[in-house]
Amino acid sequence: MTRKSQVDSTSRRTFLKELALAGGATAIVSATGTVNAAPITTAPEVKSDAKGYHLTPHINQYYDKARF
């Protein structure tokens, strides 16, 4: 083996080792990095003739299901 090919194979091995370590660390962080959100308290509903977006029980139910 020439000196150049020895350096190339060593750098590839080092890269693959570091890649495996980074993948393992990512898996550990993603498994333990869960966050529990505080429950959302909803304000009492106010009946109005306002147009546009407003929270309804139907929308709150969708948000509750989408959260989990």
Instruction: Provide the domain limits for residue 41.
Output: 3-67
Q: What is the pTM of this model?
A: 0.33
* Overall number of domains in the chain: 1
Note whether 43 and 56 are within 8 A (CB): no
Identify which has the larger pLDDT, 31 or 17.
17
Residues 6+ apart with CB under 8 A from 37: 67
43: tokens are 């304000």
Is the pLDDT at 1 greater than 60, yes or no?
A: no
Interval 6-31 mean pLDDT: 79
pLDDT tens for 32-47 read 666 566 677 776 666 6
37: tokens are 């959100």
